[in-house]
Structure 1
Amino acid sequence: MPPSSTRPTSRDVAHAAGVSQAAVSLVLGDKWRGRVSETTAERVRRAARELGYRPNLAARNLRLGRTRTVLLVVPALTTEFFAGVYTGAARVAAEHGFGVVLYPSPEGIGPARPSPTTPEGRPSRAAPIPDPFASAQAALDGVIASSMAADALTAIRGDQLPLVMLDSDPEGSLGAATVNLDIAGGMRQVADHLLGLGHRRVLHLAADIPSWTFDVRARELAARLAAVPGTSLRTARAPLSIDGALTATEAALTAPGPRPTAVVCDDDKLAAGAYKALRRLGLRIPHDVSVTGVDDLGLATAIDPELTTVRLDAELFGERGMRALLAVLEGRRPQGGDIPVDLVVRGSTAPPAAP
């Protein structure tokens, strides 16, 4: 055995196992089947364990032309949903020897911006704003990106790398693969729940973000309600923030005409803003107005009454995204089918009050 201060090499393993270095490479690279015997493979593995041998991943990656690094582009880190997506993706990546670099791209804006200038147009003394992904193609093996951050891909040339899109139209996706939650099914569950309770006047508090996932929510809600005679649907758009939702909800509920008996929110954060607006107007939840959300964030059970919402499994979403990218990198077909979602019924919904 080599001295304890010296890291064991493949040559040491080969010597201990009585085989060639080529055989060690085949066994430890899991490419030995049909080329060396099971007995020889086990002898090599045992020698590697006893020596404490660890392959030089940096050298291996250099030979393969890979960095084993993946970029995950998300709209923001201010919501726990995308933190969950990262957690799921990083877990699967680690199992396969990959690392995940997380890049938040608020509102889909890419990182590349011009150097600052003075009012006269001369270069400013302030430090220029660097583009952290100017060499993305050389530094990354692939990209996973949310549709809400898709515009950033051009800025970092991520659309020219192996790419998996999350929450994106599979018909027009930029990526080699698309992974989606069954968000349409989730919105149908919301509509059916409210219709079953007897609601016929609905306000859709829609996220004011141009994105496929929010377009699907609006389309499915409208289609489901239109199928039931006597229903009406109004839409109010709001920034994806509590204050924005408060202002939009308050304006919609004080507008002329019959007041909606239910507010369907595109996101739990919007629902929290709707709660504040309803209370400002002296309306009770769910006695006067029912409220629903989407995501099932921790916020959903922190507000009172607890929120009826569509549970989206963010970690599973990230896992599936990473597995899809690994499949693309290996030339395999990724797993198909949308990830199921569930409506969690809590205290924020009830039958509408009698006229």
Structure 2
Amino acid sequence: MTTPVTRPTSRDVARTAGVSQATVSLVLGEKWRGRVSERTAGQVREAARSLGYRPNLAARNLRLGSTRTALLVVPALTNEFFARVYAGAATVAAEHGFGVVLYPSPAGVGPAPSPFDAARTALDGVIASSMAVEAPAAIHGSHLPLVMLDSDPAAPGSAACVNLDIADGMRQVAAHVLGLGHRAVLHLASAVASWTFDVRAGALARAVSEVPGAGLVTVRSELAVSAGREAVVAALAGSGPRPTAIVCDDDILAAGACKALRRLGLRVPEDVSVTGFDDLALATAVEPELTTVHLPAEHVGERGMGALLAVLEGREPAPRDLPVRLVVRGSTAPPPR
């Protein structure tokens, strides 16, 4: 007959450490500072480790009125960037005893059915990408703390905002392309209505306008390789002067631009230079490899989760934008003579 295995309890930990159960609760609940000595806290943690003790999280959360769960809302996981954001958020969450529930939009980029009505009582807060455009409206009035990623810091409704320095990234792209001598620039812009793409467009337009003789034409495309390809083919079929550089809002569109140029018998970068944005794995999978802006996606997730934890603890999150950097590869060169 097999003897049933019994799990150690907090009483067992208290007995082994020579302290009260209340002390065990304070230490394992990370509320011991100022109440229990460092030495006693160490004894409790060592006793818990030696016994293989695991707290009953469901019971603890019920007592505290907290689930220690955050919801991460992203437009889709088909984009590698958001998978990396999730990885960063989940790492920080785990370090603080939190879990992260991922909610990607079933339709990809754009509005998603609201998860908040059903999940509100099971969440402590929400982290949402600005590209999941209905997140702020869906959470309005739910009383859940909301941290927005890559979003207009002046927009109402969020407790905190974590941004990349997107404008500086596009300024770096423009300085590189214009510095190579390009004056006829095509902007292959995202058709998605989002703050981050508006910032890219504004920064590029300002940079081009400051260079004598430089001109900018903008065409919009859905965020897909095929859509980017067709948009560039249509743009180059027009009667105007052919651009010598195509600046794309992301690497996916840049891959489409490269395919369009090959279809038209043009070489990258000998005839036309192409730049991307994001530095996805795709950027080094195409040939030539893409000049693009590296975005630290994991750090976005880490900072987003850190900001939510700060809000939950009543602290003010640091409002500093994360820096980005231009990575120059083989898809850019001086314009043809």
TM-score of the pair, normalised by structure 1: 0.89
- Further displaced range: 164-173 or 148-157: 148-157
Partner of residue 343 from structure 1, selected from 278, 303, 326: 326
What is the match of residue 65 of structure 1?
65
Aligned to 1:224: 207
| Cα pair distance change 1:70/1:219, threshold 3 Å | same
Q: 1:1-355 counterparts in 2 under 5 A?
A: 5-105=5-105, 106-111=108-113, 133-155=116-138, 160-354=143-337
Q: 2-side partners of 1:276 and 1:172: how far apart?
A: 38
Residue 129 of structure 1: aligned partner: none
Q: CA RMSD in A?
A: 1.9
> Matched residue of 2:276: which SS?
strand
SS in structure 2 at match of 1:233 = strand
Q: Is the 8 A contact 1:111 1:156 kept in 2?
A: no
Stretch moving more, 36-45 or 236-245:
36-45
Match of 2:172, SS state, is: helix
Deviations 1:104-163 (A, max 9, x none): 122332225xxxxxxxxxxxxxxxxxxx55322101111110111031443466864111
Give SS of 1:294's match.
coil
The one-letter code matched in structure 1 to 2:109 is E
Q: C-alpha separation between the residues in 1 aligned to 2:316 and 2:116? A: 28
Q: CA offsets per residue over residues 180-199 of structure 1, 9 Å max, x none?
A: 11110000000000111001
Change (3 A) 1:44 1:223: same
- Pick closer, same or farther for the CA change 1:179–1:41 going to 2, 3 Å: closer
1:31-84 per-residue CA deviation (whole Å, 9 max, x = no partner) reads 334434444444433333332222222111111111111111111111111111
Larger-gyration structure (1/2)? 1
8 Å Cα contact 1:159-1:174 kept in structure 2: no
- Structure 1 gap ranges (5+): 113-131
Q: Which amino acid aligns with 2:12?
A: D
How far 1:260 sits from its partner (Å)? 0.9
What's the CA shift string for 1:291-330, capped at 9, x where partnerless? 0000111111111111100011111111111111111111
Work out the percentage of aligned pairs sharing the same amino acid: 71
SS in 2 for 1:70: strand
1:103–1:34 Cα change, 3 Å: closer
> How far apart are the structure 1 equivalents of 2:101 and 2:333?
44
Contact 1:205 1:238 in 2 (8 A): yes
Residues 44 and 94 from structure 1, CA distance in 2 versus in 1: closer, same or farther, beyond 3 angstroms? Answer: closer
Of stretches 53-62 and 324-333 in structure 1, the one that deviates more from structure 2 is 53-62
Contact 1:136 1:158 in 2 (8 A): no
CA apart distance, 1:4: 7.9
Range 243-252 or range 42-51, more displaced: 42-51
More divergent stretch after superposition (57-66 vs 212-221): 57-66
Q: What secondary structure sits across from 1:148 in the alignment?
A: coil
Q: Distance in 1 between matches of 2:142 and 2:188?
A: 32
SS at 1:145's partner residue? strand
The Cα shift of 1:13 comes to 2.2
CA distance in 2, matches of 1:301, 1:38: 50
CA pair 55-248 structure 1, distance change in 2 beyond 3 A: same
- Which whole-Å CA distance do the structure 2 matches of 1:71 and 1:28 have between them? 24
The one-letter code matched in structure 2 to 1:107 is V
Structure 2 unmatched ranges of 5 or more: none
- Contact 1:153–1:159 at 8 Å: present in 2 too? no
